[in-house]
Chain A
Amino acid sequence: MLLSIKNISVDYFRGKKIIPALRNASLEIAEGESVGLVGESGSGKSTLALAALRLISPHEGNITQGKIIFQGKDILALPEQDMRAIRGKDIGIIFQDPFSSLNPVLRIGDQIEEAIQVHAENKLSQADLKKSALAALSNARLPEPERIYNSYPHQVSGGQRQRAMIAMAIANSPRLLIADEPTTALDVTVQKEILDLLAQLRKDMGMALILITHHLGIVSQTTDRIYVLKNGEVVESGATRSVLSSPAHSYTQELLRAVPQTAKVHRA
C-alpha cells in the first residue's frame, strides 16, 4: 500500500468556532492505482488531500485523530524537515486554479527549476536545471517547451498553465500525484486533454493518482476506485463501476440522480 489514511478527523478554526471538516475518514491507494475522491463543496475532500501532506497550518486547523502512513512512514510523526522532503518529491499536488497557484511575477521556467532545486541533493548548475525543467515541460506534452519556459503565467492559456503546474508537480517523479479539481476551471476540450495527459503520465511513470472532483463523468472515465464524501464522512467506497451502477448509499444515489439522464451511458 502506497498511502494509507486511517480514521482521520480534522477540525478547522474560524475565529472562536471549531468547524469539523473530516470525521473518521479512511482512504487507501496502492502503487499505480487511480482513485477518485468525490463530493460537493464542504464535503472535506480537499481537506483530506491537505491533511495527507500536512499542509494545514496550526492556526487554521488540526488533525485530531488518525494515522497516515506513506511508503511505510508515519506522516504525522515525521519532523517538518522530512515532511518537506516528501512534499514535491514523493507526493506531488496540483490545484484547481493554476492562475493562483503559479507566482504571477516569476517566469514559469524559474518556478519549475525551483521545484527541482529544492529537492536536489546538490546544487545543480543552471544548465542542468534548465534541461530538467524543459524535460518536465515536454513530459507534460507542452508543444513549445522553450516558449513556455520563458513566459509568465498570464502570457499563456489556461490549459497551458495547468500543464505547467503538472510539469512542476511531476518534475521530481513522484510516486503519488494528488489532483484537486484540476479541470474545473478549464474548457471542456482542454479538460479532456488534461485528463488524457494524467492517464499517460500514470502509465509512463507508474504514478498513483488521487483525483478530487465533484464531476461524476470524470471519475467514471479516469478512476479505478472511488470514495464518496459527504459532510466530512466517507459514505461509500468501492470500484468505480460498481458504485456508479449500483450505489448503496442514498447520497451517492442523489448525486447520480443529479446527472442528466442523457449524460449516462450504459456499459456495453
Chain B
Amino acid sequence: MLDVKNLSKKFPIESGLFKVKGYVQAVKNVSFSIAENEIVALVGESGSGKSTVGKLIQGLIQPDAGEILLDGKVRAREVQMIFQDPYASLNPKLSVGTMLKEALALSKSSQTPADLLKSVGLPADILHDYPHQFSGGQRQRLGIARALAANPKLIIADEPVSALDVTIQAQILKLLLSLKNERKISYLFITHDLSVVEELAGKVLVMKEGEIVEQGAVREIFERPQNAYTKTLLAATLRVTI
C-alpha cells in the first residue's frame, strides 16, 4: 500500500542570516514498504532521522530525492500523524468539539465528533472542555480521535507513548491495536523502545544516521540480528528479571 523508494533529505546548517555552513544528511536513500493492515516499527536513536522520515511521508516536508507512493499517489489526508508530547499536540485555545469539527470539515468526513470520541474510548460530554483539563493519556486519545477524522489508511505514530506513564502506555497501545483491527489502519510506529516493538509490530526497520541498516520481520531481527548496530540496540534494552 505504501511504497517508499530511495528517499533522501538534507537540512542546511545555517550560521547567520543567509550563510549556509554545510548540510546534514538526515535521510539517506531510504526504501521500504507497508502493506495494508500492517504495523511497521521504525526504530532508531535520536538523530537517526526516523522523525524526518515520518514527516516526509506525511507530506509536511518535501524530499530532495525519492518517491513516496500511496496506492499510486500520495494524498496527504489519507496519512495522519499522532505525536509524542500530549501537552503540545493539541491547540490549547480550541475546545474538543471545535477541534474535532474542524478536523472533520477539513477531511469532508461524514463522521461526527461523538463517533470519534466513542472510537477512542472517551465520553461524549467533553465537547465543551479544553485540553488543559485532561490528563496526558486522555490528550493522547484526543490526538488519535483527531487523526481518525480523516479516515486515514496509514497513521504515523511518532513516539506516541514515550511521554506517558507506564500503565497508561499499555492502554493507549491496546487502543491503537483495536483501531487497527476495526478500521483496517496500518501504522508506522516510530520509537526507540524496542519492547513496544516486539509486542506490536510485524516488521521492523532499524535506522542509524539516516540509513536503514536492517529491516525484516520482528521475530527474525530480534532473534537473529545481522547488523552490528542492531545487536547493540538489542543488548542495551533492559528487561525485567522475574
Instruction: Report A's interface with B, CB cutoff 8 A.
Output: 40-41, 158, 187-192, 195, 214-218, 220-221, 241, 244-245, 254-267
10 interchain pairs (CB within 8 A)? A191-B236, A244-B241, A245-B241, A245-B242, A262-B198, A262-B199, A263-B198, A264-B239, A264-B240, A264-B241
- Decide if A260 touches B198 in the complex (CB within 8 Å): yes
Chain A neighbourhood of B235, CB < 8 A: 192
Cβ of B166 < 8 Å from any Cβ of A?
yes
- Decide if B236 touches A189 in the complex (CB within 8 Å): yes
Cβ of B203 < 8 Å from any Cβ of A?
no
Cβ of B232 < 8 Å from any Cβ of A?
yes
- Decide if B195 touches A258 in the complex (CB within 8 Å): no
B192 contact from A40, A187, A217, A263, Cβ within 8 A: A187
What is the bound-complex CA distance between A41 and B86, given in angstroms?
Answer: 14
- Decide if A217 touches B46 in the complex (CB within 8 Å): no
Identity of the chain A residue whose Cβ is nearest the Cβ of B194 in the assembled complex: A188
- Decide if A265 touches B239 in the complex (CB within 8 Å): yes
Identity of the chain A residue whose Cβ is nearest the Cβ of B238 in the assembled complex: A217
Q: How many A-B residue pairs have CB under 8 A?
A: 91
What is the bound-complex CA distance between A264 and B242, given in angstroms?
Answer: 7
Chain B neighbourhood of A191, CB < 8 A: 236, 238
Chain A neighbourhood of B165, CB < 8 A: 40-41, 214
- Decide if A265 touches B240 in the complex (CB within 8 Å): yes
- Decide if B240 touches A188 in the complex (CB within 8 Å): no
Cβ of B233 < 8 Å from any Cβ of A?
yes
- Kindly list the 8 A-B residue pairs having the minimum CB-CB distance in the complex, ordered from nearest: A217-B238, A263-B195, A187-B45, A262-B198, A40-B165, A260-B199, A192-B236, A258-B170
B169 contact from A190, A244, A245, A258, Cβ within 8 A: A258
Chain A neighbourhood of B45, CB < 8 A: 187-190
Chain B neighbourhood of A263, CB < 8 A: 195, 198, 237, 239-240
Chain B neighbourhood of A265, CB < 8 A: 239-242
